[in-house]
Amino acid sequence: MKNKNIFYIFGILQAMVFGLVIFFILQTTGIGKDTAIVLSILFPIFTVIIEYMVYSKK
């Protein structure tokens, strides 16, 4: 139970930081703001889902 709580805390923190990094990098490339927002939200969410699937496979 404790390991799941740690996973949720650091998984969400990692996703937020990853999303911010993607957002700010995409802002410098000239991609539209709406596309940058969508990519900076969806890509970290999919990453957390895949990490959870691998982690819960134990």
Q: Which pLDDT does position 4 carry in this prediction? A: 76
20-47, pLDDT tens digit by residue?
Answer: 999 999 989 988 899 999 999 999 999 9
Domain that holds residue 50: 2-55
Strand boundaries in 1-58, DSSP class E: none
Contact between 22 and 56 (Cβ < 8 Å): no
* Total number of domains constituting the chain: 1
Whole-angstrom distance, CA of residue 55 vs CA of residue 36: 28
The span from the CA of 55 to the CA of 23, in Å, is 27
User: For position 58, what pLDDT does the model report?
Assistant: 60
